[in-house]
């Protein structure tokens, strides 16, 4: 297992290197002189040259790459052209919100998909199976924007059970910041009311964001489970007195999860990258909206930092996936040592 961990960590670092190289090249390939862009058409040649020297644009390419990586690691991600704020501060304000929503949406998708797929396979070909399939199609097909609004109309406007689209909290006083995730911070500070408020604000956006992943994972798990349920070891387990349901949950499910893990990891990375639509509908102060604005205003340093940051998220998600797979599957943990 230790060897597996070391292996995966090394390959993750290599992936990150590739991603950073890619994002750097994209940056360098952008036509135009950044100094000229920054200073405008009426700046003197001398001023442009001075800025070029300051920006390091004339340095050899490998040196520029090293400087770029060094800046990124030190948290110096440049300044937003439009607001003049350091990009790192803008992103770090928004990122915990995105992270919290993404985590909840992912939890919703997984916690929904597993029982749905189990029930569908247990009642394969019958009404419950068809209902689960129909539900997953709905999840995959329903427009996020519209679905979020419908949830708001029903649970906020009509029933009044849940808060409306007013961000992460009703009264915008955040709990003492530790992780930046309001629910966690509130719990850490022992503020129950604040925790409940933050959690209630999370429910509708998390469901909206998690709906498509839920549909996708349900379909994937159902198909995997159906395959595994036909494997002889399920029949053999039943021949020892295990009930159909127990054979499905204890033997088929862990086996069926293995191929679904990779897909789940990709979905997780995608959810962490945030969603412009969901953030807009619920006024959620996440990174998705910030990046979208950055792109629209040609504020590339924001987009730039975000690209590399989401690469880090994806790589971390895939690292977790690989380690989980090793934990579940002994064939990965102890590769062939046939005696």
Binding residues vs another protein (CB under 8 A)? 231-233, 235-244, 251, 254-255, 258, 328-331, 334, 336-339
Residue 226 beta carbon to another protein: minimum distance, rounded to whole angstroms:
15
Instruction: Tell me the two tokens of residue 225.
Output: 């489970």
Residue 330 beta carbon to another protein: minimum distance, rounded to whole angstroms:
4
The three state secondary structure string of 177-220 is CCCCCHHHHHHHCCCHHHHHHHHHHHHHHHHHHHHHHHHHHHHH
Residue 320 beta carbon to another protein: minimum distance, rounded to whole angstroms:
18
Pick the closer one to another protein by CB: 199 or 242.
Answer: 242
Residue 241 beta carbon to another protein: minimum distance, rounded to whole angstroms:
4
Pick the closer one to another protein by CB: 16 or 258.
Answer: 258
DSSP letters spanning 77-146: --B-TTT-SBHHHHHHHHHHHHHHHHHHHHHHHHHHHHHHHHHHHHTTTSHHHHHHHHHHHHHHHS-HHH
Phi, psi torsion values for 117, nearest 5 degrees:
-65, -40
Phi, psi torsion values for 86, nearest 5 degrees:
-65, 135
The angle formed by the CA atoms of residues 281, 283 and 285, to the nearest 5 degrees, is 130
Pick the closer one to another protein by CB: 192 or 233.
Answer: 233
Pick the closer one to another protein by CB: 71 or 329.
Answer: 329
Residue 129 beta carbon to another protein: minimum distance, rounded to whole angstroms:
13
Pick the closer one to another protein by CB: 150 or 246.
Answer: 246
Instruction: Tell me the two tokens of residue 149.
Output: 């609004």
Residue 232 beta carbon to another protein: minimum distance, rounded to whole angstroms:
4
Residue 260 beta carbon to another protein: minimum distance, rounded to whole angstroms:
14
Instruction: Tell me the two tokens of residue 200.
Output: 């209630």
Pick the closer one to another protein by CB: 47 or 328.
Answer: 328
Phi, psi torsion values for 309, nearest 5 degrees:
-65, -40
**Contact assessment for residue 5 and residue 309, using Cβ atoms and an 8 Å cutoff:** no
Residue 248 beta carbon to another protein: minimum distance, rounded to whole angstroms:
12
Pick the closer one to another protein by CB: 45 or 339.
Answer: 339
Pick the closer one to another protein by CB: 189 or 242.
Answer: 242
Q: Is 128 exposed, middle or buried (0-12, 13-18, 19+ CB in 10 A)?
A: middle
**Contact assessment for residue 174 and residue 182, using Cβ atoms and an 8 Å cutoff:** yes
Sign of CA dihedral 220, 223, 228, 229: positive
């Amino acid at each position: 297992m230790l060897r597996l961990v070391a292996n995966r960590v090394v390959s993750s670092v290599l992936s990150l290197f590739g991603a950073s190289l890619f994002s750097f090249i994209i940056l360098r390939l952008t036509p135009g002189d950044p100094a000229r862009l920054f200073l405008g058409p009426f700046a003197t040649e001398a001023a442009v040259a001075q800025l070029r020297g300051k920006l390091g644009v004339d340095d050899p390419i490998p040196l520029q790459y090293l400087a770029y990586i060094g800046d990124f690691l030190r948290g110096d991600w440049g300044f937003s052209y439009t607001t003049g704020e350091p990009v790192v501060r803008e992103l770090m304000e928004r990122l915990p919100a995105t992270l919290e929503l993404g985590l909840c949406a992912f939890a919703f998708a997984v916690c929904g998909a597993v029982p749905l797929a189990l029930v569908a396979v247990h009642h394969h070909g019958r009404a419950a199976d068809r209902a689960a399939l129909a539900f997953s199609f709905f999840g995959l097909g329903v427009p996020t924007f519209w679905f979020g609004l419908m949830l708001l109309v029903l649970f906020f406007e009509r029933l009044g059970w849940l808060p409306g689209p007013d961000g992460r909290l009703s009264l915008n006083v955040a709990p003492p910041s530790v992780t930046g995730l309001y629910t966690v911070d509130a719990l850490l500070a022992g503020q129950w009311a604040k925790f409940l408020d933050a959690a209630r604000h999370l429910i509708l956006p998390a469901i909206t964001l998690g709906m498509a992943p839920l549909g996708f994972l349900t379909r994937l798990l159902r198909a995997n489970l159906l395959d595994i349920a036909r494997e002889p070891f399920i029949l053999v387990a039943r021949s020892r007195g295990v009930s159909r349901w127990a054979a499905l949950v204890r033997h088929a499910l862990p086996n069926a999860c293995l191929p679904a893990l990779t897909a789940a990891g990709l979905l997780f990375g995608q959810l962490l990258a945030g969603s412009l639509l969901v953030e807009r509908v619920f006024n959620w102060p996440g990174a998705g909206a910030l990046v979208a604005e950055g792109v629209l205003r040609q504020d590339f340093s924001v987009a730039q930092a975000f690209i590399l940051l989401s690469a880090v998220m994806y790589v971390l998600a895939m690292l977790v996936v690989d380690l989980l797979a090793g934990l579940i599957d002994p064939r990965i943990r102890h590769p062939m040592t046939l005696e």
